[in-house]
Amino acid sequence: MGTVFSFDVRGGDFEHAVAEAVDWLHHVDETFSTYRPESVVSRLDRGELTLADCPPEVAEVLRLCDEVSRASHGYFTSHPDGRLDPSAVVKGWAIERASRILTRAGAVNHCVNGGGDVQLTGSAAPGSPWRVGIAHPLRPGELAAVVTGHDLAVATSGTAERGAHILDPHTHRPATALASITLVGKSLTLTDAYATAAFAMGHAARDWVGELEGFEAFAVTASGATWHTGDFPELAILAD
């Protein structure tokens, strides 16, 4: 499945840094894509490779999957259909790493958006925070909220864009309570993975995210109502 990534770098010309980040994303695709039969992860899943044969980032990603699975009481899983598929962790992790590549190269004010999951650093303009719109899942073209901040990660999980079902791993039935849920945190790796788990949890995500240190959530339910965790309004402008 194709994913569109965008890099918005402010305050200077950092073409070289972006090129390096792009190379990184190509490497991630070759290693982790479950759509490529010859990718490292596909071969690992078929037993053609052991974990020790794989690049170290594979073990790192699988450890992250385990960590997120435990933290989410199994609502996140790296084997959603029985096959190894760490994609939900890989995307946020890859984007966050791409962001670090940019920062190390001196591009300290940037926004990296991969398929709607975003890692932001620094400022959009001198003294101005970034402004991240949250697409309304039920009303095309509208925003449900705008999140603002300097160094933050925003990840939205839902069915709006693909129509595909995210399954509740406990019931194996589609998670239907929410149209979308957006998590805001510092690091996209966990923010993205937690957003996926939160969507599968439905309304229970409100308490779950409420307990998590460093994350806030905003959800649009299947009927179009919204809820959010306690400190979310401090980060955001909400529609009335």
Q: Is 47 in the site for other proteins (CB under 8 A)?
A: no
Judged by CB under 8 A, the number of residues near other proteins is 64
- CA 44 – CA 94 distance, rounded (Å): 19
Asked whether 120 and 150 are in contact (CB, 8 A), the reply is yes
Please state, as a whole number, how many other Cβ atoms lie within 10 Å of the Cβ of residue 240.
2
Q: Is 33 in the site for other proteins (CB under 8 A)?
A: yes
In our burial notation (b when 16+ CB lie closer than 10 A, e otherwise), range 6-30 reads ebebbeeebeebbeebeebbeebee
CB of 70 to other proteins, least distance (A): 26
- CA 129 – CA 194 distance, rounded (Å): 24
The piece of 48-56, 142-150, 170-178, 208-216 that touches other proteins (CB under 8 A) is: 142-150
- CA 8 – CA 237 distance, rounded (Å): 22
- CA 116 – CA 120 distance, rounded (Å): 12
Asked whether 181 and 72 are in contact (CB, 8 A), the reply is no
CB of 170 to other proteins, least distance (A): 25
Q: Binding marks (x or -) toward other proteins, 57..96, rule CB under 8 A?
A: ----------------------------------------
Please state, as a whole number, how many other Cβ atoms lie within 10 Å of the Cβ of residue 208.
20
**Which of 125, 176, 203, 207: binder of other proteins (CB under 8 A)?**
125
Q: Is 219 in the site for other proteins (CB under 8 A)?
A: no
- CA 113 – CA 147 distance, rounded (Å): 14
**Which of 41, 88, 107, 135: binder of other proteins (CB under 8 A)?**
135
**Which of 61, 88, 101, 147: binder of other proteins (CB under 8 A)?**
147
The residue (of 125 and 204) whose beta carbon lies closer to other proteins is: 125
Q: What phi, psi does 215 have (nearest 5°)?
A: -135, 140
Q: Is 101 in the site for other proteins (CB under 8 A)?
A: no
The residue (of 42 and 69) whose beta carbon lies closer to other proteins is: 42
The residue (of 62 and 95) whose beta carbon lies closer to other proteins is: 95
Q: Is 10 in the site for other proteins (CB under 8 A)?
A: yes
Bridge-partner residues for 135, per DSSP? 143
Residues of this chain that interact with other proteins (CB under 8 A) are 1-13, 15, 18-19, 22, 25-26, 29, 33, 35-36, 109, 111, 113-118, 120, 124-126, 128, 130-137, 140-147, 154-156, 158, 160-163, 180, 182, 237, 239
